[in-house]
Amino acid sequence: MKIDERHLVQLAAVINAGGVTEGAALLGMTQPAVSRTLAALEKRLGEPLFVKGRRPLRPTPFGRALADHGQAMLLASRKASELIDNFRHGLAGTVRVAGTPFFMDGLISGLIAEFHNARPDVRVIQSYGYMPELQEAIRADRIDLAICPVDVLDGDDLEFQSILPGRNVVACRVTHPLLMKRKLKGPEILDFPWIAPPPNSPLQADMRALLLSFGSTGVSMPYVGGSLASAMNYLKRTDALTILPHGVVFAYRRDREITALPLRVPHPERALGILRLAGSPQSPAVMAFAASIAAGFATLADLIRRHEQSVIWKA
């Protein structure tokens, strides 16, 4: 025998509310409509659903068993309605985001945590890559957003939202000997060991440009292939130097262990920002995530501007 699921939902609502009028109100229906449904259901089943003559309404064991199935449907319907509302308001869904490793680990992971404090039911899937891989992943719909440095955008099918100037710096420990000098001469950085940046990264390109600007084609690089955390730990314990995103170094300033040399790194004009497919509709969760990241970087950019008013960067 096939039973209309809506009838079971109405039965569950009446039992939960303790009366037909109250159950009808719970469902946004009229009392006569629900009464007709229950009477028709009893007639069709040939079994009473309620103990006759009892007020408030008391279900029979058979009525209770059927109502349990209706209750499951009612809860599922409510969860679906809640999911729809949350999805429409960016409170549920999935965000697939990727970016350059040091930048994602040093800055974006903390902003993801802040985003989750406000929207804990949004699932964020993070991965890594550099510009060519990120563009390919966006076009292939493997990710929704890329957060990365951009100097030249390849193709008009992508749009880029700048969120921070893309400057890299020479990073070192706060007690590095070069910081003790009254006037730093650029070539002096060639006398110290370096941590090699990730291969094919903007950091690696900027390091090469910096060394070439001082007439060197190579320096001692005893440490290669580390993550951001390992590079930071290595810097803290040695006189080594490396190239890091300025925003990352600035974000770690409160630890008072890593800083940047007052030396400008030559590199092309670039900006850090959010890359996405142009004109493509995105879920409310993805839009909320992008807005949250942009707001976080607006705050960071303002802090950096105020801080640098007291810093002299050498040419």
Q: Does domain 93-163+271-308 have CATH number 3.40.190.10?
A: yes
Give dist(CA 104, CA 228) in Å, integer: 10
What values do phi and psi take at 228, rounded to 5? -60, -45
pLDDT tens track for 88-113: 889 999 999 999 999 899 999 999 99
Q: Which of 37, 61, 34 lies closest to 50 in space, CA to CA?
A: 61
pTM over 0.85, yes/no: no
CATH of segment(s) 168-260: 3.40.190.10
Burial-class residue 281 by CB neighbours within 10 Å (0-12, 13-18, 19+): exposed
The answer to whether 93-163+271-308 and 168-260 have equal CATH topology is: yes
User: Candidates 1.20.1300.10, 3.30.950.10, 1.10.10.10, 3.40.630.30; correct CATH number of 5-88?
Assistant: 1.10.10.10
Q: Determine the residue type at 157.
A: D
Res 309 pLDDT > 70: no
Q: Please state, rounded to an integer, the average pLDDT across all residues of the chain.
A: 88
pLDDT band at 154 (very low <50, low <70, confident <90, very high): confident
- Domain residue spans in the chain? 5-88, 93-163+271-308, 168-260
Give dist(CA 98, CA 141) in Å, integer: 12
pLDDT tens track for 26-69: 888 999 999 999 999 989 889 899 988 777 788 999 989 999 99
Choose between 71 and 309: higher pLDDT: 71
